[in-house]
Amino acid sequence: MKSEAQLKNEVREKYSALATNESAACCGSTSTTGELCNIMADDYESVEGYQSVADLGLGCGLPTQFARISRGDTVIDLGSGAGNDCFIARHEVGAEGKVIGIDFTPAMIQKARANAEKLGFNNVEFREGDIENMPLSDDMADVVVSNCVLNLVPNKPAVLKEIFRVLKPGGHFSISDIVIVGALPTALQEDAEMYAGCVSGAIDKLLYLEQIKNAGFENLTLQKEKPIELPDSILEKYLDKDGIRQFREGTVGIFSISVYAEKPGFLSLGDSGAACGPDSTCC
């Protein structure tokens, strides 16, 4: 079984290639990762603030559509890529708001910054960093969004803990992600392309929702859910005909979901005034 560091390096290499080679952009790729992106991606064309130059087709939903972003908000985008969701969030926060994108792939950060400069967007910032240890202060964001990124992170509870930390009391998140119902065949679970394509790194849907609750969030809402159907052209790379038949007839399901949850708005009774966390006894 691969270590967390190995999985992260594989994802970084794959997404570096997508950032630096226009012909390798996900929707134009013939790799397994590219095929999966084509299947999962939602259409942004009608979304206000959309900038096609920043859309590499790497998402599995439209989290900003559900994120309840208000004018003047500070919004954080986890795994910001070339800036697609950041630029849509910028349209919602207006000139008085701020958007910060975080990505651990240097090539993506460079591409996003170049896009922001080209578009003249001065209130969008991109920071290189791991979303398991965000380069952000506590209690500074009104909204956190993310599009098909947590499934790429081995330690999902660590990311949820960080989201809780950086949100202001009463702040909220809207995240689009891939989850699984049932168990994937071993050949799919262990493949690097399937991991980078957001499938084999996905976890059980009920466990995913439980981890959000365990991180201290409340008012958890499933905003959208759609099934992801893997075509034979992908499955035949990993399974023989009998394996494909069993997969089709089994109980395994792959879903794109958009999830909303809030950080409690109450304050601690301590001197710091910080919000009570899931491990706190202050309240």
Least confident interval from 186-190, 239-243, 251-255: 186-190
Tell me the chain's radius of gyration from C-alpha atoms: 19
**Number of structural domains found in the chain:** 1
Q: How far apart are CA 148 and CA 15, in angstroms?
A: 13
| pLDDT for residue 15 is more than 90 | no
The answer to whether residue 201 is domain-embedded is yes
Q: What are phi and psi of 139, to 5 degrees?
A: 50, 45
Angstrom distance (rounded) from CA 123 to CA 213: 32
Within-domain flag for 134: yes
Q: Which domain holds residue 178?
A: 4-228+254-262
Is residue 278, in this structure, part of any structural domain at all?
no
- In angstroms, the Cα distances linking 230 to 8, 39, 218, 250, 269 are 24, 8, 33, 13, 51
**Whole-prediction pTM value?**
0.85
Q: State yes or no: pLDDT of 94 exceeds 90.
A: yes
The angle that helices 4-20 and 106-119 make with each other, rounded to 10 degrees, is 40
CATH of the domain at 103: 3.40.50.150
- pLDDT above 80 for 65: yes
- Residue 248 within any structural domain of the chain: no
pLDDT at 68 over 90: yes
* pLDDT higher than 70, residue 247: yes
Q: How far is CA 92 from CA 52, 71, 100, 119, 169, in A?
A: 17, 6, 13, 16, 21
Out of 98-102, 213-217, 230-234, least confident range: 230-234
Contact 115, 93 (CB under 8 A): no
Tens of pLDDT, residues 124-148: 999 999 999 999 999 999 999 999 9
